[in-house]
Amino acid sequence: MARRKIIQIDHIDLLKQDAADIIQVCLTQQQIAVLKALLVTAYWQTRWINLQMTKDELEAYVADIEYRLDGGDCSTMTIDFRENPLDYCEVQYSTDGGATWVTMFRKDNCASPSSTDIDITQLQNDITTNNTNITNYAGDITNVAPGWQYENIFDDRSLCFIIYRYVNAVCDIEIEQDRKNNQELRDQNDWLNDVADVFSATVVGVITATAGTMTIPAVVIGAITWASVQIFEAGLDYLLSYEAKWLTDIESRKEVMCWMYNKMRGDTPQFDKWQHSLDDYTPTTYAAEVIAGVVAIWNSNLDVYVNYMMLFNDLDSIKETLPECECPQPVIINQLNGLNDEKYGTEFTSPTDKSFANPGDTFSIAPGVYMPIADKYNSIANPIGGQACNVRVVLPHNVLVRTIKVEWTIYRPSGSIWGGDKNAAIWVGEPGVDGVFVGGRAGPTGSDYVDTEVTTVTAIDTLFVTTPRTHVYIHNSTDREDGYARISWIHIECVPYAG
């Protein structure tokens, strides 16, 4: 009888392999059956050399292998897959959240991208540029695009200008991708080319024609093109439930753009507001619903946001020459009514560190603290004594204020011996710059009371402000540090400016 060779496993050699590195392999049921049949002998100590496990440890070790071959729990293993962005014929996997990628296999009958389609060196530079931009961004867009620091109404013009082109570009890119996807198998190489073409035509081309003196940083064009690859699958998956034709509706595009703009105007456009600007949007048309869904996907991508804002940083140098925003502006602002039903949430109001008060009184810095549950602003300790609360309200563009109503409260505990506090004020415009004091109030005398009053400033008072302003400033305070001052309702009525 012929002698058979016995397979033995060297435990010392096995220990040289990484026991913590979990990988995934693709096997058929038949192939797994073969491995399980061979695994039976691994339970025997006689089939091992240099064994450093007890019999019980060995049995547990081999049983775990068999359990995994049976499809046991791999909940601790997270595996990501992708096409190599530099060679889409190559499929890669990562077990560390994308920090490193390992090649699994190459696709059959697949040709790597040629230099006529995409320059590999340039793409690598774009990736590096994007990563650098995100590092330098560090949570504040003004770190990489200081031109977006909010200063005045012209910054809102810039914001309107770029959001309009952003929404159009997003829709056009998705339409192009959907159209070609219906004709042929699409890949990231095609997507990169589409994005570059649309941004060159829809965004840069329009900017060059409108604002020819503005510098367009070409290096950022490459970075934003690369950044958009991350949205490649998400956009297509979303459109599977709809038809791309709805993205062509110009009026619905404008509706989405104006909502996004009105949620962000009046302040530095940071990422948190950008990505959540459509969260509470209620579309009026089916097309607007589809468009908002696509734009929201793009809005959630930090890389796209950072590079897009950097692309238009130089807009700050020509913002005063840009056209007026065509978005309709509300003429009534009703804030802090306790119902949280304001048209644009509480985006119009915010604390301010502007130093102001009544004319003749000592100005102080005392930004109010917004209390979401109560839907009102509360005071903080006033640097000059007592408690104070300063609030700023963003006004619509190109309007005149005609009526202002403010509900404010002061609490003066027992022991107060002075008369009512007279340091409560309403300014149209920025105090100390272009602001006009239009009204205020004086609390009652005495102590140990809570006094709430609605002050109404009518057109007679506001007629002194004959040109549009960008904000209304409101101040309330009390002379006692153990008291408080609150602002609990703001109602502002405006009329279009015809001058």
Query: What's the confidence (pLDDT) of residue 374?
Result: 82
Segment (H or E) for 34: helix 29-39
For tokens 């159209």, name the residue. 179
Query: What's the confidence (pLDDT) of residue 271?
Result: 94
CA distance 476 to 408: 7
DSSP state of 428: E
Token output for 78: 């997270």
| Fold annotation for 332-496 | Jelly Rolls (2.60.120)
CA distance 407 to 428: 17
Please report, for the chain, how many H helices and E strands are present, in that order.
14, 17
Non-local CB neighbours of 76 within 8 Å, separated by 6+ positions: 22
How would you label 366-379 residue by residue, b for 16+ Cβ within 10 Å and e otherwise?
bbbebeeeebbbbb
> Across the 499 residues of the chain, what is the mean pLDDT of every consecutive 10-residue run?
58 76 72 79 80 79 79 60 65 70 64 47 69 89 92 84 88 74 52 60 52 54 64 61 81 91 85 90 89 90 86 82 77 71 56 84 86 87 86 85 88 63 82 89 76 79 76 89 88 77
Query: What's the confidence (pLDDT) of residue 474?
Result: 94
Which pTM does this prediction carry?
0.51
DSSP state of 275: H
For tokens 């507001």, name the residue. 273
Q: Are strands 436-441 and 376-378 parallel, antiparallel or unpaired?
A: unpaired
Residue 431 backbone dihedrals phi, psi, to 5 degrees: -55, 135
Which alpha helices (DSSP H) does 334-493 contain, by range? Answer: 459-462
Query: What's the confidence (pLDDT) of residue 454?
Result: 85
Cα distances from 315 to residues 105, 134, 155, in angstroms, run 46, 20, 9
CA distance 63 to 284: 60
Indicate the domain borders of the chain.
Answer: 9-69, 78-106, 125-321, 332-496
